[in-house]
Chains A and B, each alone.
Chain A
Amino acid sequence: MKHKRSFFAFILISLTVVSGCWDKREMNELAFVSAFAVDLNEEGKYVGTFQIINPGNVAGGLQGGGGQNASITVYSAAGDNLLETEGHVSMKVSRDLYYAHTNLIIISEKVASEKGITELFDLFERAREFRTTTNVVLTRNSSAEEMLSVLTEKDKIPAEQIVNNLKGAEESQGEYQKITIDNVINSLITSGNEPLISAFSIKGEPKKGTKMENIQASQPEVRMEPNGLGVFKNGKLIDWLEGETARGTLWATDKVQATSLNITWKNKKDAIAYQVVRQKTKIAAQLKKDRPKISISVRAEGRIAEVSVSSDLTNPHTLAAIEKEVAKEIKEEIEKAIYHAQINKSDTFGFGDAIHRSHPDKWKKIKSEWNNEYFPSSDIEVKVEAFIRRTGLRTNSYLSDLEQ
């Protein structure tokens, strides 16, 4: 009994001592990769770019760090696949590359339009450190490597600034959407749905953006801005959506979180600004004699945010009239977006997916020709209801007093 017990204790101790610590990684042995970018070089090889955080230059605190030196270092290398680029980069970095905090994947316009994004995402899903909740963006008019190298002024880590910018744009403009790896994969594998990925572009000379002087100015010459939504077809970038078309697309896909739109009132253009607080879009799909019929119903709630003509907002009839105008405006936007998509022959709305769900048996037949034949010719009916829930702190504008 006594032997048994001491033997057990011995096993336990050797278990921790011998097998323990194999996975141990001290923080100062790790290089935290904040963003990863994919480019295509002239030979058609992938170029992976890694944005690595220099913690000492990011965090303030006792050491007085931050501000003086660049908060990130960017490394890049070419390779036949993404893993190979990592292998080549890790030779240049003195520490282990660590991806659990990677927040952004940038795909260059060139990769997206020439090679397509279909084969890119396996590594991110397979590797254990990558999170599938990592955001994905496209570059527009610049390479991904350039975009990763631009220093930013607000968030010291540029990847974070891009993500936060995009989040802000998504929440206020309604023309962009944040999309993560798992969303992209999902829309790639769903037949009858194409991904929409927001794009960023660099304003200014990219080379200057890599210098600290750029962010020391009150008006940095080089900035990154969200710029359009990339439309894909069969995994390849085919078009950009901007402004109302982009918003219309997001309306139809129930992705608008908040936005504002202007309506004409009393013959004055953009006289009333309406701010959407919440909205809900429902898609119903039917097949009538092999002809798809899609009905979209949108319900938007919001408030009046700005008025530039005098009008009696205390009168419920006026408000009802404004609501109608708003609904009309939204409907026009959605129809415009659908028309645009039908010309592109790319179903970014997931209508095909809706048909798949409502008519799974017939879907198999039309699936392969959906984007080119059925989607462009489908009947689409848009119904919009808009509600004004409140008018802000004022009812009637002071402009009404001015008129009297």
Chain B
Amino acid sequence: MFSFFEHSKKTSKNYSPEPLPKTIKSSLSDNLALLKQKTGKSPDIIIRSLKIGNQPKVKAAVVYVSGIVDTQTINEFLIEVLINYKEKPGNEAGQELIEKIAEEVVSVGSIKTETEWSSLFESLLSGNALIFIDGAAKALTAGTKGGEKRAIQEPSTQSTVRGSREGFTESMETNMAMVRRIIKNPNLWIESIKIGNQTRTDVSIMYINGSAESAVIEEVKKRLKKIKIDSILESGYIEQLIEDQTMSPFPTLYYTERPDIVAGNLLEGRVAVFINGTPFTLLAPAVFVQFFQASDDYYTRFDIATATRFLRAFIFLISLLGPATFVAAITYHHEMIPTTLLIVIAAQRESVPFPAIFEALIMEVTFEILREAGLRLPKAIGSTVSIVGGLVVGQAAVQAGIVSPTMLIIVAITAIASFATPSFAVAISARLLRFAFMICAASLGFYGIMLALFMMVAHLCSLRSFGIPYMAPFAPFMPGNLGDTLVRIPWWSMKKKTQLMNHKNIQESKNKKSQSLKT
């Protein structure tokens, strides 16, 4: 991956050896020739030449990229109307004719006059149609964005029992529209920039003016503007480029596929970053407890919601510490296990040839292999893998006496627990840290686990997401904001929205590493 970046950096230097001429010429053939030359005569760049007006007929051309435009709009509202335009152009020809066409003829929603090649190219490549008229040193861009898109479907990563079934799609416009449909408020503001020297990906930030802390908005904008990269293929690129701390297993930005989550977070004063081409939208700033909250919590009654949140915290602890605790207990702390249980475990371990930590590592790694294989395989083969995994690895390993049944149970519970964490982002951090905890447990027992836990908590407390302490509202302790953390108090008692965005808390990012990557 690293060499890939270096490679692409080199090509970016060689990109467009001849600089573009700044403005277009008045000769149509010159303009079209330049277009063809710059696009390498790619077959999907369609140049439709036509003649408009009556005596003399004026040469004109409609240029668009097939596939990313709405062909029907181009046919009916551009080409058809232009061909049918039979007015006398008069002697003014080019310059004024183009104004007239824009104002009186073409019937598409957005139309603009441009003179610069760079903006014309950008417009063309993002799905607009260009209209050139011979003799005019201007061109029209008509909004004809379209083409095939995925329909709105139920989100696959954050499904809920109760709640909206809509999920984001790859189209940024659709996604932002979905949020607009929820928050009908003129203060919902959107700002858009393009990132990526080559991909020119549309990135928009969305926030509620007045609700979001301006310092956070400025910080998000500043960090987005600082990005210097050739390509943005997914929101993960943006996340890694603008996050506060690269050297951390914990995510400091929240991503979601659900419009209702984005809307809820915008109302809490967060900033959403939409990236064209991915259904995953980023939310900043993120706090740790947020990753244990699901949209279901807000839709079900508060007692159930609170109970499930506690369950999730417990699940996270299991997925983090499960095997580590077991390994520590059976290699160091035999006195802590009740005698009867100890004898059962000891009986199972009589014939196991490996030390407990090695046994645990074997099973954990096997599970990770199965999981990775299940993820990549075609769905039809997936079930085969689970059978092989469940039977062969589980039962056969126990019968062969390589692992003990108790260890299998522990690993299985841990595996299930890691799937039950609502946010995949934090589930995979636990997955990674689990191994560190296991090694600490194997070398120092419970003492080692406690050491590692202290280090983890200290690290969590040191993290910041766009100036907001990651562990807020626990550290720093903000008693007023505890209503929507591990507990969710009833809606009527939530007097004000949780205000994590405290002006005093916002600090500059100290992460020099991620910034040096950007420049």
Decide whether A and B assemble into one complex: yes
Task: Mark A residues whose CB is within 8 Å of B.
Answer: 16-17, 20-21, 23-28, 30, 32, 34, 53, 55-56, 58-59, 61-63, 65, 98, 100-101, 103, 129, 131, 157, 160
Cross-chain contact of A103 among B330, B339, B350, B352 (Cβ < 8 A)? B339
Cross-chain contact of B346 among A20, A21, A27, A63 (Cβ < 8 A)? A27
Chain A residue at smallest Cβ distance from B354: A26
New A-B contacts (7) at CB < 8 Å, excluding given A16-B444, A32-B343, A98-B334: A17-B443, A26-B331, A26-B355, A61-B348, A62-B348, A62-B399, A63-B348
Q: Which residues of B contact A28 (CB under 8 A)?
A: 346, 349-350, 352
A81 to B439, CA, bound (A): 41
A16 to B444, CA, bound (A): 7
Q: Are A101 and B443 in contact (CB under 8 A)?
A: no
Q: Are B347 and A65 in contact (CB under 8 A)?
A: yes
A79 to chain B, nearest CB (A): 25
Contact status of A61 and B405, CB under 8 A, knowing A56-B350, A101-B339, A101-B342: yes
Bits for B328-354, please: 1 = Cβ < 8 Å to A, else 0: 001110110001001111111111100
Chain A residue at smallest Cβ distance from B455: A12
Q: Which residues of A contact B32 (CB under 8 A)?
A: none
Q: Are B331 and A25 in contact (CB under 8 A)?
A: yes
Contact status of A16 and B448, CB under 8 A, knowing A24-B331, A24-B442, A101-B335: yes
Chain B residue at smallest Cβ distance from A98: B334
Q: Which residues of A contact B442 (CB under 8 A)?
A: 20-21, 24
Cross-chain contact of B347 among A21, A61, A103 (Cβ < 8 A)? A61
Answer yes or no: B398 CB below 8 A from chain A CBs: yes
Q: Are A62 and B405 in contact (CB under 8 A)?
A: yes
Chain A residue at smallest Cβ distance from B444: A20
Q: Are A27 and B349 in contact (CB under 8 A)?
A: yes
A131 to B339, CA, bound (A): 13
Chain B residue at smallest Cβ distance from A25: B331
Secondary structure of the A side of the interface? loop
Q: Are B347 and A24 in contact (CB under 8 A)?
A: no
Q: Which residues of B contact A58 (CB under 8 A)?
A: 343, 347
Cross-chain contact of A20 among B356, B405, B448 (Cβ < 8 A)? B448
Q: Are B334 and A24 in contact (CB under 8 A)?
A: no
Give 11 pairs: A residue, B residue, CB < 8 Å, sorted on A. A16-B444, A16-B448, A20-B442, A26-B356, A27-B330, A27-B345, A28-B346, A28-B349, A56-B350, A61-B347, A98-B334
Please give the number of chain B residues whose Cβ is less than 8 angstroms from any Cβ of chain A in the complex: 29
A103 to B342, CA, bound (A): 14
Q: Are A55 and B343 in contact (CB under 8 A)?
A: yes
A34 to B445, CA, bound (A): 24
Q: Which residues of B contact A27 (CB under 8 A)?
A: 330-331, 334, 342, 345-346, 349, 356
Q: Are A56 and B331 in contact (CB under 8 A)?
A: no
B495 to chain A, nearest CB (A): 45
Q: Are B343 and A26 in contact (CB under 8 A)?
A: no
Contact status of A16 and B346, CB under 8 A, knowing A25-B331, A62-B398: no
Q: Which residues of B contact A63 (CB under 8 A)?
A: 347-348, 350-351
Cross-chain contact of A59 among B347, B355, B440 (Cβ < 8 A)? B347
Chain A residue at smallest Cβ distance from B399: A62
Task: Mark B residues whose CB is within 8 Å of A.
Answer: 330-332, 334-335, 339, 342-352, 355-356, 398-399, 405, 439-440, 442-445, 448
A58 to B350, CA, bound (A): 12
Contact status of A25 and B346, CB under 8 A, knowing A20-B443, A61-B405, A103-B339: no
Contact status of A59 and B332, CB under 8 A, knowing A16-B443, A28-B349: no
Q: Which residues of A contact B439 (CB under 8 A)?
A: 16
Chain B residue at smallest Cβ distance from A159: B339
Q: Are B339 and A59 in contact (CB under 8 A)?
A: no
Chain A residue at smallest Cβ distance from B451: A16
A58 to B445, CA, bound (A): 27
B209 to chain A, nearest CB (A): 41
A55 to B349, CA, bound (A): 9
Q: Are A21 and B443 in contact (CB under 8 A)?
A: yes
A58 to B444, CA, bound (A): 30
Q: Which residues of A contact B332 (CB under 8 A)?
A: 23-25
Q: Are A101 and B346 in contact (CB under 8 A)?
A: no
Q: Which of B330, B346, B349, B355 has the most CB of A within 10 A?
A: B346
Nearest first, the 8 closest Cβ-Cβ pairs linking A and B are: A20-B443, A100-B335, A59-B347, A55-B346, A55-B347, A59-B344, A16-B443, A101-B339
Q: Are A32 and B356 in contact (CB under 8 A)?
A: no
B394 to chain A, nearest CB (A): 13
Chain A residue at smallest Cβ distance from B353: A28
Cross-chain contact of A25 among B334, B342, B345 (Cβ < 8 A)? B334
A151 to chain B, nearest CB (A): 16
Q: Which residues of B contact A103 (CB under 8 A)?
A: 339
Q: Which of A26, A30, A61 has the most CB of B within 10 A?
A: A26
Q: Are A59 and B444 in contact (CB under 8 A)?
A: no
A4 to chain B, nearest CB (A): 16
Q: Which of A24, A32, A53 has the most CB of B within 10 A?
A: A24
Q: Which residues of B contact A129 (CB under 8 A)?
A: 335
Q: Which residues of B contact A34 (CB under 8 A)?
A: 339
Chain B residue at smallest Cβ distance from A26: B355
Contact status of A53 and B443, CB under 8 A, knowing A26-B356, A28-B350: no
Q: Are A53 and B343 in contact (CB under 8 A)?
A: yes
Q: Which residues of A contact B343 (CB under 8 A)?
A: 32, 53, 55, 58-59, 157
Q: Are B346 and A32 in contact (CB under 8 A)?
A: yes
A294 to B388, CA, bound (A): 78
Q: Which residues of A contact B351 (CB under 8 A)?
A: 63
Chain A residue at smallest Cβ distance from B337: A101
A55 to B348, CA, bound (A): 8
Q: Which residues of A contact B331 (CB under 8 A)?
A: 24-27
Chain A residue at smallest Cβ distance from B401: A63
Chain A residue at smallest Cβ distance from B333: A100
A128 to chain B, nearest CB (A): 10
Q: Which residues of A contact B444 (CB under 8 A)?
A: 16, 20
Q: Which of A20, A25, A157 has the most CB of B within 10 A?
A: A20
Q: Which residues of A contact B398 (CB under 8 A)?
A: 62
B459 to chain A, nearest CB (A): 13
A24 to B442, CA, bound (A): 8
B169 to chain A, nearest CB (A): 44
Chain A residue at smallest Cβ distance from B350: A56
Q: Which residues of B contact A56 (CB under 8 A)?
A: 347, 350
Chain B residue at smallest Cβ distance from A99: B335
Q: Which residues of A contact B330 (CB under 8 A)?
A: 26-27
Q: Which residues of B contact A26 (CB under 8 A)?
A: 330-331, 349, 355-356
Q: Which of B332, B345, B356, B443 has the most CB of A within 10 A?
A: B443
